[in-house]
Amino acid sequence: MEEKKSTPLGGRVWFSAVFFGLIGQIAWIVENMYFATFAQDIFANSGRPDMSYRVTTLMVILSAAAATADRMTISVVTI
């Protein structure tokens, strides 16, 4: 039986993966901050200021779940 040889990834590939991963995390943080501010502005003036925190929390949870599902789907497709 032949053994499969794994080829090591070069430093350039690792740098690119880590760099783009960090950029993606920063973009996600900025997106959540923008949506949180937007939701708080809308609900603060609606007479239900407590709803802004619930909506913000729900948006962050759904965004994280969607990002996780996306990454898992992409990982399965590329394997």
Q: How far apart are CA 39 and CA 56, in angstroms?
A: 7
Mean pLDDT of the chain: 79
Higher pLDDT, 31 or 79: 31
At residue 66, the 3 state secondary structure works out as: helix
Mention every residue, 6+ apart, whose C-beta is less than 8 A from residue 35: 56, 59, 63
Quickly state the pLDDT bin for 74 (edges 50, 70, 90): confident
pLDDT at residue 9, rounded to an integer:
76
Token digits of residue 27 = 């973009």
Among the listed ranges 3-7, 38-42, 61-65, which one has the minimum average pLDDT value? 3-7
pLDDT at residue 44, rounded to an integer:
77
Which runs of consecutive H residues, i.e. helices, occur in the chain?
11-44, 49-78
Q: What are phi and psi of 21, to 5 degrees?
A: -65, -45
pLDDT exceeds 70 at position 51: yes
